[in-house]
Chain A
């Protein structure tokens, strides 16, 4: 069996893994990324919406190819059709750019490679190597046959279906309340407003929402997510989305360019993401916003903190859990309160009736919301319906 060695081994070449690799390599560590797919960024498993402001927290100059479309705002629709428009003047936070993940993921990987990281494609981790009880690398399958890759630290950036954390004994299990199942078409031939991201709330997508995110003048990602606990029958997501599309005259004649299925975690932050010789980052660390289901920015931010932590640990030659606390504390300082607040808000939203959604959206549309962000919306809700947010007011 072929054997390789590196300082840091990153499992998964999504944005979180590549950002981790980039900063670890920049700090002088030997870094290898392994990716089970044959192409970075494909197949896309994402609605591709991202906020400009969250992205500005990391050094990520997007190339034109990474951006499919810039939108000037968001429209949030209640079940009865009341619309809250969050427009250009207030734009900033939650949704501003619709990415092209096929290019974006490659771009971030390239930044890691530019810093010296190595990449191996079609290379899938199959288990951890443990020596005297310590994690010492991973076993993997590859086009060259089975590999053992020895590493001082293993980074699990292996997404929603993460195995690395489970192998290491970190509890990443999710309750059915904390998983959203999603299906999306990229539809073209649409006659619609390509300047706004649209969100549809209420019982048609319980615990989630339906989205229309513009890709170009007549093409959009049209998808929906429903909380797993609300799902009754097999294939319910796709069937429900098909019905929504058939009932919308802007969408019903659209033709699909792409189909995407997947799941995202909408959980409270997990207790532990770092241990001796291993850490988790991105979706595998459940660093996803529980209201929006967005994870790209959080993964990039956490990846940067992880990479910096690993570079310092490598210099000290100390990859103990204690040494990796800089990462554990760093990402929590950056987003734990926000994730926890939005998790509590999500738990509330699931229980709201369609009538209440109608009332809230109608009221907010009247009073206006200052910024395009879930925090701004929750604050506006607080001013009109304080009882809805009283359990997590301290996070607003």
Chain B
């Protein structure tokens, strides 16, 4: 099955894996991630630092474009 990926600024959150726990939201040093209802979204402040990728306990986040600092 093809997984739907919600694509945002620089990260992609696999909504079929995501458990909406907020680990990435609280970790993001730029406060660029938000938990809206049942989706995680990133805004233009994301610099692609990868902390959200690593903190996500289940690996639901990937970087789809390199940030300035990455």
Contact = CB atoms under 8 A, between A and B. Distances in A.
B25 A261 contact: no
B19 A261 contact: yes
A176 B51 contact: yes
A159 B57 CA distance: 17
A179 B55 contact: yes
Interface string B34-66: 011100000000000001011111111110000
A265 B25 CA distance: 13
Interface string A180-197: 011100000000000000
B6 interface: no
B31 A166 contact: yes
A162 interface: yes
Contacts of B27: 174, 179, 228, 263
B7 interface: no
B57 A183 contact: yes
B57 A182 contact: yes
A32 B51 CA distance: 35
Contacts, number: 83
A163 B26 CA distance: 8
A145 interface: no
B67 interface: no
A48 to B, nearest CB: 15
A1 interface: no
Chain A residues touching B, majority SS: mixed
B55 A231 contact: yes
Interface stretch (A92-100, A113-121, A232-240): A232-240
A234 B23 contact: no
A28 B48 CA distance: 48
Contacts of B57: 181-183, 235, 237-238, 261-263
A259 B17 CA distance: 12
A237 B36 CA distance: 24
Contact of B58 (A45, A163, A183): A183
Contacts of B29: 173
B23 A160 contact: yes
Given A174-B27, A176-B51, A179-B27, A159 B58 contact: no
B59 A263 contact: no
B55 A181 contact: yes
B58 A238 contact: yes
Interface in A195-254: 228, 231-239
A181 B57 CA distance: 6
Contacts of B36: 124
A39 interface: no
Contacts of B56: 181, 234-235, 261
Nearest to A239: B59
A261 B21 contact: yes
A162 B26 CA distance: 6
A169 B31 CA distance: 12
Contacts of A259: 19
Contacts of A183: 57-58
Contacts of B26: 159-162, 174, 179, 263, 265
B54 A234 contact: yes
A173 B22 CA distance: 14
Interface of A: 43, 45, 124, 159-163, 166, 173-174, 176, 179, 181-183, 228, 231-239, 259-263, 265
29 contacts: A43-B19, A160-B23, A161-B25, A161-B26, A162-B26, A163-B31, A166-B31, A174-B27, A176-B54, A179-B55, A181-B54, A181-B55, A181-B57, A233-B54, A233-B59, A234-B54, A234-B59, A234-B61, A235-B56, A235-B60, A236-B54, A236-B59, A239-B59, A259-B19, A260-B19, A261-B23, A262-B22, A263-B21, A263-B27
6 closest A-B pairs by CB: A235-B59, A161-B22, A263-B23, A161-B25, A234-B59, A161-B26
Given A160-B26, A161-B35, 12 more contacts: A43-B19, A159-B26, A160-B22, A179-B27, A182-B57, A231-B54, A234-B54, A234-B59, A261-B21, A261-B23, A261-B58, A265-B26
